Amino acid sequence: MSILVTDTGFAPDNWAEPIVTLGVANDATALDVPSDADPATIPLCDGLQLIRVDFPSSADGRGFTIARQLRLRGFTGRLRARGHVLADQYAMARRSGFDEVEISKELAARQPEDQWRFRANWRENDYQTRLRTHKPAKA
Amino acid sequence: MYSYTDFDAAFLKERNAQFRAQVERRIDGSLTEDEFKPLRLMNGLYLQLHAYMLRVAIPYGTLNSRQMHKLADIADKWDKGYGHFTTRQNIQYNWPKLRDVPDMLDALAEVDMHAIQTSGNTIRNVTADHFAGAAADEIADPRPVAELIRQWSTDHPEFQFLPRKFKVAVTGSPNDRAVTRAHDIGLRMVTRDGEAGFEVIVGGGLGRTPMIGKVIREFLPRADLLPYLEAIVSVYNLLGRRDNKYKARIKITVHENGLDDFRARVEERFALIRPQFTGVDQQMLSAIEAEFAPPVFRDAPVTAFEDARRHYPAFRSWADTNLTEHRAAGYAIVTVSLKAHGATPGDATSAQMRLMADLAKRYGHDELRISHEQNVILPHVHKSDLPSVYSALAAAGLGTANVGLISDIIACPGMDYCALATARSIPIAQEIATRFEELKLEHDIGPLKIKISGCINACGHHHVGHIGILGLDRAGVENYQITLGGDSTEDAAIGTRAGPGFSAEDIIPAIERLVRAYLELRSEPAETFLQTYRRLGLEPFKAALYPEARANAA
Amino acid sequence: MARVFTPKVVTANALLEGDVIYQTATGWTGDLAEAEVLTDEADADLRLIEAAQQTGHVVGAYLMDVDLSTESPQPAHFREAFRARGPSNYIHGKQEVARNV
């Protein structure tokens, strides 16, 4: 069993439906997307509820752009990062549009819950939000 | 000058707390070295040959006296009493200890400075014309835009794990002192029909495969800047190669996919991103611009300057080489040479840093700049104060009159410090400077840029040196290759390799032969080395470098 | 014919101090003269694996070639000579320590 990380900490995976590999079926409710996918061509069908983007290595940042592009294309369903994501990358994942991160037990043991919750404040101190929506603090 | 908002300060405090925790987690085993390495690099911390190295950003090369004093304090408290200014407008400390680094970062934060994104596969410290806001030839000050880009790129959630590092440079002058054509993105401030905007250059870079950047957008309206930059980096993040480190830079992405294909992808992405920017960024830019309002220049006689120039040859010599025309009447831009003959290019002791800070405070509207040529600039000095400034500098070993001359050499740290280097750079620079000082020839030689890199990554910009020197490891021995005819300006050109390399012993005489050949070949004393090279081509210089080959062929 | 194996020493940087260290039979030293010299390839590979596992103390362990023609092992390559001595522009690093002893 893998572990699901959200702002509240660790929880077991509560998604019970099958997750279909991208390209296998067009009417899936849940899609698995590899890190080399082109987000412009991922079909966003009506019934699609969850997209899971793979992070093969913590040094591979493509998933962050894939998430952002999916959100810009209008995907409002559940967006999940899965794989070698570090606690230090949790804020990046959330800010890029992911809702949650799925990690292995082994990674969860090495990077326990408190290290992830340390970044649950990802909405704060965010230059991107400030540049797009907020009023400058200093006029 | 920009001072941090409450937001900037809160961000940095949080970020430093995160890094402090990351260091502790590395030590307690929560993070492996493979996991910690990108995180420490993101905060400017390298592990080099002999020790850790902390690279501190000096955004767009601008700092005030308080910041310079803090850099000196850090050098004394946690390092060995000096710092190394780099070709990317950073300062490097060569001897920090891992456990001290969080404290060093906190000390930097006290003066609105950080080491964020000075390394790693992310958008690096944004560089700009070191004469910004002072140069007579400037269209607009590039620093407000550079500051906006700093804020946009800092901690950008999408772009912390790019295929490779990413460098952005901005210039507001048609005379390009920021080497914009050798950056991943170069921005040249331009106007069209009275509207301000940018020429956007993409895919330039030195390194293993040097390339001159290509124009991806001839005119980008000002308000489109951030979404357009975001589109470029976003396309690159997905398209850039991750299978081969040496093919991962955007210059290769653009080269392999073609500029037109790359541009089409960027424009498509831009259309998606543009609506996200509702104009708040432009309001912020206006606020930033207000902070960069020029100082109030004084109107005073310059007779003290004229008198000193007339009566003191040493002052005249320095004034003739180290001053640049200022936009304000009666003012000059002072370049303080960190290239005393025989010294390490770009190094300053803490005492020298403090002196420059104090001079900036007293005579220079509290501003200093770091140039990519590894010198320090006092951008706004009234000419009547120059004799006092010069005396103080000269007394501290900072009065060398060699800016733009043969001993004003750019050199990377090379194998004396750098883990990536294949040969040393610093001793070669020291020896060339010392040799031409002995010959008393450098003022006769005139403008000549020598740039030395200790490996193919080209931190020493050797490709764009009039004379470039690249240090390599040839079968376990240091070997130095010469390139000729490079140019870092708006007429950017990659130098041509002259031929086989030279040993560490032979490289200095080879450079001397080359320069003596130029003195023979030039049409008149005013014809520079680069002009002579462009007029005559490689052959006569090659003949001077390799006399035995010519003898054999005869 | 069997390839001649160049003698090796396991070297790395210390995690906390960052300085150059060499593996000994029982731990680590900053002095190359005290390093354990490995003359057998299989043995060298094994010692490197052991070194690389000590992630709490060392970073970036690798095998360096040494020359045994003098009394104590000398670096075979100039890069290792710089690591063993320090930079050439200042008397810093190991040469500084050596001078202060």
**If you search the block for the tokens 């890199």, which residue do you land on?**
B453
Number of other CB atoms surrounding residue B396 within 10 Å: 17
Domains in chain B (CATH in brackets) are 1-120 (3.30.70), 303-395 (3.90.480.20), 410-553 (3.30.413.10)
C and A touch with 3+ CB pairs <8 Å, answer: no
Chain B interface includes A47 (CB < 8 A):
no
CA distances from C100 to C31, C78, C91, C92 (A): 14, 24, 11, 11
What pTM value is reported for the model?
Answer: 0.95
Residue B160: list chain A partners with CB under 8 A.
61, 64, 89, 92
* Subunit contact B51:C93, Cβ cutoff 8 A: yes
* Subunit contact C18:B51, Cβ cutoff 8 A: yes
Chain C interface includes B478 (CB < 8 A):
yes
What is the interface size between B and C, counted as CB pairs within 8 Å? 74
The pLDDT score that the predictor gives to residue A137 is: 46
Chain B interface includes C100 (CB < 8 A):
no
Q: Å from B445 to nearest chain A CA?
A: 49
Q: Å from C56 to nearest chain B CA?
A: 6
Residue C60: list chain B partners with CB under 8 A.
33, 47
**What was the ipTM of the complex prediction?**
0.95
d(CA B354, CA B359): 9
* Subunit contact B7:A125, Cβ cutoff 8 A: yes
Could you tell me the residue ranges of all domains in chain C?
A: 8-100
Tens-digit pLDDT profile for residues A17-59: 999 998 887 788 999 999 999 999 999 998 999 999 999 999 9
Residue in C16, C92, C94 nearest the CB of B97: C16
Does A134 have pLDDT greater than 80?
no
Q: One digit per residue, pLDDT tens: chain B, 554 residues?
A: 999 999 999 999 999 999 999 999 999 988 889 889 999 999 999 999 999 999 999 999 999 999 999 999 999 999 999 999 999 999 999 999 999 999 999 999 999 999 999 999 999 999 999 999 999 999 999 999 999 999 999 999 999 999 999 999 999 999 999 999 999 999 999 999 999 999 999 999 998 999 999 999 999 999 999 999 999 999 999 999 999 999 999 999 999 999 999 999 999 999 999 999 999 999 999 999 999 999 999 999 999 999 999 999 999 999 999 999 999 999 999 999 999 999 999 999 999 999 999 999 999 999 999 999 999 999 999 999 999 999 999 999 999 999 999 999 999 999 999 999 999 999 999 999 999 999 999 999 999 999 999 999 999 999 999 999 999 999 999 999 999 999 999 888 999 999 999 999 999 999 999 999 999 999 999 999 999 999 999 999 999 999 987 666 65
Evaluate whether B503 touches B484 at the Cβ level (below 8 Å): no
Residue B238: list chain A partners with CB under 8 A.
38-39, 62, 65-66
Chain C interface includes B366 (CB < 8 A):
no
Residue B26: list chain C partners with CB under 8 A.
15
Chain C interface includes B51 (CB < 8 A):
yes
The secondary structure of residue A120, as a DSSP letter, is T
Residue B237: list chain A partners with CB under 8 A.
61-62, 64-65
Evaluate whether B426 touches C89 at the Cβ level (below 8 Å): yes
Pairing of the two strands B323-325 and B331-336: antiparallel
Could you tell me the residue ranges of all domains in chain A?
A: 3-132
Q: Where is B34: in which H helix or E strand?
A: helix B33-42
Q: How many helices (H) and strands (E) does chain A have?
A: 5, 7
Mean pLDDT of chain B: 96
* Residues of chain C by 3-state class (helix, strand, coil), percent to 5: 30, 25, 45
* Subunit contact B238:A126, Cβ cutoff 8 A: no
- Decide: residue B195, CB within 10 A, 0-12 exposed, 13-18 middle, 19+ buried: exposed
* Subunit contact C19:B415, Cβ cutoff 8 A: no
Residue of B nearest to C87 (CA): B416
d(CA A97, CA A94): 5
Phi, psi (degrees; rounded to nearest 5) at B313: -60, -40
Residue B6: list chain A partners with CB under 8 A.
137-138
Residue in A96, A111, A138 nearest the CB of B158: A96
